[in-house]
Amino acid sequence: MPNFQVISRERHANQRWQRYTSYAFAAHEAVIPLAAAELPKATMSLPLAFTEQDGAFIPVAVLGLQAGSNLWVGADGRWAGSYIPAAFRSLPFRLAQTEEGQQVLCVDEESGLVTGGPAGERFFNDDGQPAQATLDVLNFLTQTGQGRAAAALACAALAQHKLIRPWPITVKTDAGEQRIEGLFQIDEAALNQLTGEALQALARAGALAVAYCQLLAMQHLPLLGQLAQARAKAVAPAPLPAGDLDLEFLNRSGTISFGNLF
């Protein structure tokens, strides 16, 4: 169980943290939210879609064909693609919000990456000020949070213009056709029919770029089937659970896992 504690001089002045060396912690994430700023890079290598969370749409990278399976993480813990979503790049840290609305940096003390030994990065310098590595993590998480908020606003603009529609997907694998439901895509036909005024409004909201990123990234969807086939040939495939890809876990709070910074 994760045990997130607010980073403080009293608790962490004599402790250090280590960077993870494996993406095994991400092996069970089938979809992951994306921040607005990372969408152009993610578009180059990952299939992108939208999911509905708390009554609103958010952009996500589609990483697997079934819940609990990330096809981009190999058996050795290495990432198979050229882009790693920001949500996997700051383990063992996360931001939390106090009752007063202030954001604080927390660390998972059960991650195995917090130590009292000499190895790793210091939380604080000798003068009691946060170490540069700690500040870098805080800056990264702050920017990522702002990017997710920007993505949510862009998706709200897309939804307002009725440009997001269900995206039923069927991917062929060695085990047969795998259906993925609960994902959404841009309605390209509706996008092409918008007036110039509407397109300008979407551009101002940053929504037009989000729309085109999702449309372009759809070309990567067959990669999921290829990765599934490669995995099936490497190891005996486990039986697939009945039903479709369950996206409900997006609505449950959990560990925010990142690691190597930008």
What string of DSSP letters covers 27-95?
TT-SEEE--GGGHHHHHTTS-EEEEEETTEEEEEEE--SSTT--TTB-TTS-B-SS---GGGSSTTEEE
Residue 129: phi and psi, rounded to 5, are -85, 150
Q: pLDDT for 125-162, tens place per residue?
A: 999 999 999 999 999 999 999 999 999 999 999 999 99
* pLDDT value for 242: 32
Q: pLDDT for 65-102, tens place per residue?
A: 888 899 999 999 999 989 999 999 999 999 998 888 88
Residue found under tokens 């925010």: 256
* C-beta atoms surrounding 203 within 10 Å: 12
Contact 162, 187 (CB under 8 A): yes
Measured CA to CA, the distance from residue 95 to residue 131 in angstroms comes to: 17
CA angle 16–20–23, rounded 5-degree value: 160
Domain ranges of the chain: 4-251
> Which residues, 6 or more positions from 84, have their beta carbon under 8 angstroms from its beta carbon?
23, 260
> pTM for the full model?
0.82
